[in-house]
């Protein structure tokens, strides 16, 4: 069996259970087909005011960290927001290399292009093994300055690049000059045992949603780029003329206090559910309780929550960014432009008023994480064979 060192900074943690769920699922499924050790590297920031990240929930991961179904090794490396950005890949690799060397892999597979993919690339080259990097979305689309330069260097150096949508593959070839033959599209799957149609009325009863409520559900991080302000604005517009309309914000993030303030200022806080960050099983229950799922992001790769919403048989209103168009069509949702609260309100109203075949919506979505693992392993094996051939030659 191929020995794969999987490197990533994104996995579910106690303070953010939704973070990196798709990588967890991929690692778990891939581990049934190959010998996989996951190297979970996280950045440790100075314990000083103002020197913590502002774009995501930060919390330290304990030495006793474990991950269901995975052989995982966690470690930390030091960094300073903004100031160490150009060196983070080098610093991470210094900590990563001895750990991966002890594992003796045939190949290094990293998820998140910079700094972690770059660190993995440096480590792989030091050990004389090939490197495959998976790009997930904002690690390609939201790049500027040093991040963009280092992302370009990483893409140029890897043996293969995986993208989660065909739109993202084409973007990477066009904007980063990636060699087309080295870029492979492997779209995300979903946990078919968890995300499936359930009794919506029972799920509403369980989570305290009234039988008359017309429920819009959002699942994800509470950050600006997910279109959270647009969502609150659109909800306020619709709620003004529909007393039965309600909203559930499933997740957590740095904008939680701001969102609560916005809702209180509009007098709508009592019509919004905040269940917090939840494990996949409970996320699926909230989706099944919904009339409509929404994701108004500014940028996406291949948004997994949209896949999960469709798998549960719920119509989805989402922005037409990244690979979302590869998931949604007129039979299962509504596509809208990003950063447009009026368009979001219109799309949500159309979805709420529409007649949907929930069974047909769910039946059309059947891609599992095992499918993702099979395709990922095929690319890794191809790269490993090519590298072995070059060594023999």
Structure tokens, 178:
């990636």
Question: In Å, how far are 61, 208, 268 from 74, measured between CA atoms?
Answer: 8, 38, 42
C-alpha to C-alpha distance for 227 and 231, rounded to whole angstroms: 6
The CA-based angle 41-253-233, given to 5 degrees, is: 145
Residue 267 belongs to some domain of the structure: yes
Which CATH number belongs to the domain containing residue 350 in this structure? 3.40.50.2000
In a shared domain, residues 180 and 267 = no
In a shared domain, residues 215 and 158 = no
pLDDT reading at 46 higher than 80: no
Looking at the structure of the chain, the number of domains it has is: 2
C-alpha to C-alpha distance for 365 and 191, rounded to whole angstroms: 11
Q: What is the pLDDT of residue 48?
A: 58
Q: What is the mean pLDDT of the chain?
A: 92
Q: What is the pLDDT of residue 49?
A: 61
pLDDT band at 82 (very low <50, low <70, confident <90, very high): low
Residue 41 belongs to some domain of the structure: yes
In a shared domain, residues 276 and 309 = yes
CB atoms inside a 10 Å sphere around CB 69? 12
What stretches of the chain show up as alpha helix (H) in DSSP?
Answer: 21-30, 88-103, 118-127, 138-141, 145-157, 166-176, 200-207, 228-239, 256-265, 280-289, 304-311, 341-353, 358-363, 369-392
Q: What is the pLDDT of residues 341-357, one digit of tens each?
A: 999 999 999 999 999 99
Q: What is the pLDDT of residue 40?
A: 96
Contact between 109 and 6 under an 8 Å Cβ cutoff? The reply is: yes
Contact between 130 and 154 under an 8 Å Cβ cutoff? The reply is: no
Residue 42 belongs to some domain of the structure: yes
Residue 234 belongs to some domain of the structure: yes
Identify the H or E element spanning 6. Answer: strand 3-8
* Pairing between β-strand 272-276 and β-strand 292-295 as defined by DSSP bridges: unpaired
Mean pLDDT of 112-133: 96
Q: What is the pLDDT of residue 141?
A: 73
C-alpha to C-alpha distance for 266 and 137, rounded to whole angstroms: 33
Residue 15 or residue 286, greater confidence: 286
C-alpha to C-alpha distance for 305 and 225, rounded to whole angstroms: 15
pLDDT reading at 79 higher than 80: no
Report which of 92, 84, 83 is spatially closest to residue 113, judged by C-alpha positions. Answer: 92
C-alpha to C-alpha distance for 335 and 167, rounded to whole angstroms: 15
pLDDT reading at 51 higher than 60: no
At 191, is the secondary structure helix, strand, or coil?
Answer: coil
Does the bond joining 311 to the residue before it have cis omega, within 30 degrees of 0?
no
pLDDT reading at 282 higher than 90: yes
Residue 194 belongs to some domain of the structure: no
DSSP state of 324: G
Residue 320 belongs to some domain of the structure: yes
Residue 86 or residue 273, greater confidence: 273
In a shared domain, residues 269 and 337 = yes
In a shared domain, residues 240 and 104 = no
pLDDT band at 55 (very low <50, low <70, confident <90, very high): low
In a shared domain, residues 104 and 84 = yes
pLDDT reading at 166 higher than 80: yes
pLDDT reading at 29 higher than 60: yes
Mean pLDDT of 350-371: 96
Residue 351 belongs to some domain of the structure: yes
Q: What is the pLDDT of residue 389?
A: 83
In a shared domain, residues 53 and 180 = yes
In a shared domain, residues 182 and 242 = no
Residue 1 or residue 47, greater confidence: 1
pLDDT band at 52 (very low <50, low <70, confident <90, very high): low
Q: What is the pLDDT of residue 110?
A: 98
Residue 195 belongs to some domain of the structure: no
111-120, 147-156, 211-220, 383-392: which range is least confident on average?
Answer: 383-392
C-alpha to C-alpha distance for 348 and 271, rounded to whole angstroms: 16
C-alpha to C-alpha distance for 144 and 130, rounded to whole angstroms: 27
Q: What is the pLDDT of residue 202?
A: 97
In a shared domain, residues 174 and 45 = yes
Mean pLDDT of 9-26: 88
Contact between 244 and 254 under an 8 Å Cβ cutoff? The reply is: no
In a shared domain, residues 170 and 303 = no
Mean pLDDT of 80-108: 89
In a shared domain, residues 353 and 218 = yes
Q: What is the pLDDT of residue 14?
A: 80
Q: What is the pLDDT of residue 53?
A: 59
At 116, is the secondary structure helix, strand, or coil?
Answer: helix
Contact between 93 and 130 under an 8 Å Cβ cutoff? The reply is: no
Q: What is the pLDDT of residues 283-324, one digit of tens each?
A: 999 999 999 999 999 999 899 999 999 999 999 999 999 899
Angle between helices 228-239 and 341-353 (to 10 degrees): 60
C-alpha to C-alpha distance for 390 and 50, rounded to whole angstroms: 49
Q: What is the pLDDT of residues 207-265, one digit of tens each?
A: 999 999 999 999 999 999 999 999 999 999 999 999 999 999 999 988 999 999 999 99
pLDDT band at 122 (very low <50, low <70, confident <90, very high): very high
C-alpha to C-alpha distance for 298 and 326, rounded to whole angstroms: 16
In a shared domain, residues 244 and 118 = no
CB atoms inside a 10 Å sphere around CB 334? 23
Q: What is the pLDDT of residue 304?
A: 92
Contact between 112 and 139 under an 8 Å Cβ cutoff? The reply is: yes
Domain that holds residue 30: 3-189+369-392
Percent of the residues in the chain that have a pLDDT greater than 70, as a whole number:
94
């Amino acid at each position: 069996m191929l020995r794969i060192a999987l490197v990533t900074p994104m996995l579910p943690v106690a303070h953010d259970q939704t973070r990196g769920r798709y990588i967890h699922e991929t690692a778990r499924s891939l581990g049934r087909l190959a010998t996989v050790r996951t190297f979970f590297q996280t950045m440790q920031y100075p314990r000083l005011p103002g020197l913590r990240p502002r774009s995501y929930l930060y919390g330290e991961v304990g030495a006793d960290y474990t991950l269901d179904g995975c052989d995982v090794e966690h470690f930390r490396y030091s960094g300073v927001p903004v100031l160490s950005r150009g060196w983070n890949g080098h610093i991470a690799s210094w900590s990563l290399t001895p750990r991966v060397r002890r594992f003796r892999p045939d190949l290094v597979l990293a998820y998140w292009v910079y700094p972690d993919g770059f660190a993995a690339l440096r480590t792989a080259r030091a050990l004389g093994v090939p490197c495959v990097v998976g790009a997930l979305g904002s690690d390609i689309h939201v790049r500027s300055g040093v991040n963009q330069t280092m992302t370009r260097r990483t893409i140029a150096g890897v043996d293969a690049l995986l993208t989660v949508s065909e739109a993202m593959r084409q973007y990477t070839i066009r904007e980063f000059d990636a060699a087309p033959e080295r870029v492979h599209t492997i779209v995300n799957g979903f946990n078919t045992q968890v995300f499936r149609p359930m009794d919506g009325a029972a799920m509403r009863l369980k989570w305290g949603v009234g039988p008359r409520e017309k429920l819009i559900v959002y699942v994800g991080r509470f950050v600006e780029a997910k279109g959270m302000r647009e969502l609150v604005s659109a909800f306020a517009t619709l709620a003004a003329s529909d007393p039965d309309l309600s909203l559930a914000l499933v997740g957590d993030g740095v904008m939680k206090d701001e969102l609560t303030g916005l809702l209180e200022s509009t007098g709508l806080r009592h019509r919004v559910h905040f269940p917090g960050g939840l494990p996949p099983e409970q996320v699926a229950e909230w989706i099944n309780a919904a009339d409509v799922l929404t994701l108004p992001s500014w940028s996406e790769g291949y948004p997994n929550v949209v896949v999960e919403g469709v798998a549960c048989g719920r119509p989805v209103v989402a922005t037409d960014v990244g690979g979302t168009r590869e998931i949604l069509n007129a039979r299962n949702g509504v596509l809208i432009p990003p950063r447009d609260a009026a368009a979001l309100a219109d799309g949500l109203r159309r979805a709420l008023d529409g007649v949907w075949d929930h069974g047909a919506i769910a039946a059309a979505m059947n891609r599992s994480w095992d499918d993702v693992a099979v395709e990922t392993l095929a690319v890794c094996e191809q790269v490993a064979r090519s590298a072995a051939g070059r060594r023999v030659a």
